Amino acid sequence: MPRFEVWHHAQLIGWSELESGDPPMGVAFGLFIPAPAYAQVQALIRARAESDQSDLHLSVLHQGQALVCAGVYIQDFSADCGEDAIEVTVLGISEPPYAELFAQHAAAYWRPQG
């Protein structure tokens, strides 16, 4: 699976494989693996667990290219549920095209039923 880097301003704070998605909405999400720098923003992320995180200027890069999207949101429930309870969601991905980034999501969604 491809690796997607999650950035806070100019600092790498973690990555994800964005292993799940909603192709019609252009949404991808997955387990967030924190980098050491995540500790510097973790309290901010947790404080905004139920609110807008746009002021944090989070972005996602794939192979050095920023994804054009409506927003990036991190849900961190690790304090209550363990280290693997952090998820990142990328909303409204428009560039690169969703189907190019997540062919497996698109194929699974549009596969004929039956």
Read off the pLDDT of residues 74-113 as tens digits, 9 standing for 90 and up.
999 998 898 889 999 999 999 999 989 988 776 777 666 6
Any residues with CB less than 8 A from the CB of 15 and at least 6 apart, and which?
A: 3, 4, 5, 6, 32, 33, 35
Of the CA atoms within 13 Å of residue 12, those in its CB half-sphere come to: 12
pLDDT in the model for residue 111: 65
Task: Count Cβ neighbours within 10 Å for each residue of 46-81 and write b for 16 or more, e otherwise.
Answer: eebeeeebeebebbbebeeeebebeebbbbbebeee
Read off the pLDDT of residues 17-27 as tens digits, 9 standing for 90 and up.
999 999 999 99
